[in-house]
Every structure is written in structure tokens, then in C-alpha cells.
């Protein structure tokens, strides 16, 4: 017999779920970033509106990927303390509430640097927030077994 400790099966399952949800959160963030960049390019082509100082590849990528990772972590924590149905409801509700709060910035009259919000800013940014929320909800909640 060796002196090695055996890892309980529950701990292995828990770590596997965490890794799976973090990976799913990362992938959902990457997908949201790609879709948002595509949307930005289409919007710029159609409207000729661009504000690269604020909305660019880097800002879109960070603003899509980081919340995606946190969504996976948040859903993992919810599943630890509640059933699938309850966790799903809380996750969707929280994501929708956070989506609402995230719209405050684009709907404000000033940009973060203090300058006035340009006319095309709302049309450029608001859909990106919805894209992220839809991707996070659909990806994160589908990866976990429903039992």
C-alpha cells in the first residue's frame, strides 16, 4: 500500500465540471467577441459610423471574453448550491438584469472619457450587449447535465 492519498470521486467530478464550465465560458466569450466584431464591421460598412478610440477589436474582445469566463464560473457556483432548474432560472434572470445594467453606459449622454456620445454609438453598441447575453445563456446552460 502506498502513502498517496486517493482523491474522492466527488472532488474529481466537481473539478471536471468547473473546468468544463470555465472552458465553456471562455469559448462563449470568444464566440461572442467574434460575432460582435463581425457586427461592428457590418455596422461600420452600412452606416459609415466608427469610433475606434472606444469600440475596437481589443475593447470588444475583452468586453466579450471576460464576462464569458465569469458566466461559466457563476453558473458553476449556482449549480453547487441549487438544482438544475433553480440554477438555470437564477442564471438567466441574473444575466438579463446584468444586461439591463450594462445598457446604462451606451445609453448615457457621455462616453467614459467625458466627451458627448456620438449619434451612431447606441446602434453600434447595444446589439453587442444582447449578442453576449444570448451566447452566454445558450452556451453555459447547455453544457451541464440537467440532473
Q: H or E element: which one contains 128? A: helix 121-143
Is the per-residue pLDDT at 84 higher than 90? no
Q: What is the pLDDT of residue 114?
A: 83
pLDDT at 1 (0 to 100)? 46
Average pLDDT, the chain: 88
pLDDT digits 0-9 by tens, 96-133: 999 999 999 899 988 877 888 888 999 999 999 999 99
DSSP assignment of 31-87: HHHHHHHHHHHHHHHHH----TTTSSHHHHHHHHHHHHHHHHHHHHHHHHHS-HHHH
Domain layout of the chain by residue ranges = 11-143
Amino acid at each position: 500500500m502506498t502513502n498517496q492519498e486517493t482523491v474522492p470521486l466527488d472532488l474529481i467530478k466537481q473539478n471536471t465540471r468547473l473546468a468544463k464550465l470555465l472552458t465553456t465560458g471562455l469559448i462563449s466569450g470568444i464566440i461572442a467577441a467574434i460575432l460582435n466584431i463581425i457586427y461592428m464591421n457590418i455596422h461600420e460598412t452600412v452606416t459609415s459610423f466608427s469610433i475606434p478610440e472606444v469600440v475596437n477589436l481589443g475593447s470588444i474582445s475583452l468586453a466579450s471574453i471576460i464576462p464569458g469566463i465569469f458566466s461559466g464560473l457563476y453558473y458553476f457556483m449556482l449549480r453547487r448550491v441549487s438544482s438544475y432548474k433553480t440554477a438555470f432560472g437564477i442564471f438567466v434572470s441574473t444575466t438579463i438584469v446584468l444586461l439591463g445594467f450594462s445598457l446604462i453606459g451606451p445609453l448615457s449622454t457621455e462616453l467614459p472619457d467625458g466627451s458627448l456620445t456620438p449619434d451612431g454609438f447606441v446602434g453600434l453598441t447595444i446589439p453587442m450587449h444582447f449578442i453576449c447575453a444570448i451566447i452566454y445563456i445558450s452556451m453555459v446552460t447547455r453544457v451541464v447535465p440537467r440532473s
